[in-house]
Structure 1
Amino acid sequence: MSDVEGRDPESTSFFKKPPANMFSAAQERGQSFRLLDFCSREHCFLLLFGVLFGAGVGLSWACFGLMLGPLVDRLFYGAALGNRVFMEAWALCVVAFVFAVVSMMCTTTVAEDQKCNLRTLYMQAVLRHDVSWFDAAKPGSLPKRIETDIGIMYIGLGDRLSQFSGSLTMTVVSYIFAVYR
């Protein structure tokens, strides 16, 4: 108890405060892709496949935008529903669905494994601390911190990564179609 009294509570904290300018600090230390340190080779390949299939979803969205004009024209002007444009639109929807499922499956699998790895690392780090750290820490701070930090990582890696790759690809391909069409 005597060694805790003279210390600053922040210096005994397990979680250090982030630097004032988080973006420049992450660039200096190269921590933008720090979660990849905990990935195995298989997880990196799954993430790559998830991003590539997410890009395939974005490409199919942009192509569907090109097909929408002729599809609406044929539907409003009485063309048969079995025409070529209608069937191509259905095929594109099926391909986009398959790409989206594979993309979400890959990124969610990696996010689940990362969540388990990070929880294990948190607990190992907590068990390495001396007893005085537990005296200075608030009782519910660690479980709350573990749940929020790992939950944010899970959402970002599992769901948002595939959505980001699809949206970015759709935006780039749509601009290319708009310029060259």
Structure 2
Amino acid sequence: MRSKDSMFRYADRLDKMLMLFGTLGSIGDGLQYPLMMFVVSKVINEYGRENGSVSMDTVNKYALKLLYVAILVGLSAFVEGLCWSRTAERQTSRMRTAYLKSVLRQEVSFFDTQEAGSSTTYKVVTTISADANSIQVAICEKIPDCLAYMSTFVFCLLFAFILSWKLALAAFPFTILFIVPALVFGKLMMDLTMKMIESYGVAGGIAEQAISSIRTVYAY
């Protein structure tokens, strides 16, 4: 996790603990629909019996189970949001500091020899802001959402095999029809996002350079 190319290379022990609890919270958050459907299936089976009557004790029993599911999912979602948001803020703060230190350590000739498309002086602020915000959003939103959706998929599949393995086995191949287009769409969106970030960096740098030139003209 602390490798040179890892997005979490600035994470310390506290951040690792936060990510661990955040991951557990994401898994618990993803259990919302599987557990709810599992309990509801039991209720439907109760109503589908031959006599067709359900006692109030049975209704209260399943109502309590749904309440417990709601409490579990609510606590999991709270832990998920708290832990991932906190560690995202801590890690991106270190990234900003490390990036700025790296730029300030460069020789003056480094900025004179860079092309317009690279991370030169006029792009430092824009690049730090855009990249750090993108990484913070990825850590505090995208990763926990991905973990929660994966948890939902796995546990829905598990409960489906528990309740009716024949029907689940027959329907499982159709999930490929949803997974493959999603992967292709995600790859295309990632490429477009990288191009957009680079374009915004250049545009922001040019805007800062123009505003700086205007201030210089007004100063004289």
TM-score (norm 1): 0.71
What whole-Å deviation, never above 9, does each CA across 1:81-131 have from its counterpart, x for those lacking one?
962112211221121011111011111111000111001011101101111
Q: Does 1:125 align with 2:102?
A: yes
* Alignment counterpart, residue 172 of structure 1, candidates 154, 162, 180: 154
Larger Rg: 2
Say whether the 8 Å CA contact 2:8–2:91 is kept in structure 1. no
Percentage of pairs with the same residue: 21
User: Which letter maps to 1:144?
Assistant: T
Distance 1:130 1:79 in 2: 80
**How many residue pairs align between the two structures?**
149
Distance 2:97 2:24 in 1: 30
SS in 2 for 1:38: coil
* Alignment counterpart, residue 84 of structure 1, candidates 29, 52, 61: 61
SS in 2 for 1:37: coil
Q: Which residue of 2 aligns with 1:67?
A: 39
What whole-Å deviation, never above 9, does each CA across 1:120-150 have from its counterpart, x for those lacking one?
0111011011113334466542222111111
Say whether the 8 Å CA contact 2:39–2:66 is kept in structure 1. yes
Q: Does 1:105 align with 2:77?
A: no
Distance 2:142 2:126 in 1: 22
Q: Which residue of 2 aligns with 1:144?
A: 126
Say whether the 8 Å CA contact 2:24–2:76 is kept in structure 1. no
Distance 2:149 2:56 in 1: 33
Distance 2:4 2:155 in 1: 30
Q: Bigger shift: 128-137 or 83-92?
A: 128-137
Distance 1:93 1:110 in 2: 26
Structure 1 residues 139 and 78, CA, compared in 2 at 3 Å: closer, same or farther?
A: farther
Q: Bigger shift: 102-111 or 157-166?
A: 157-166
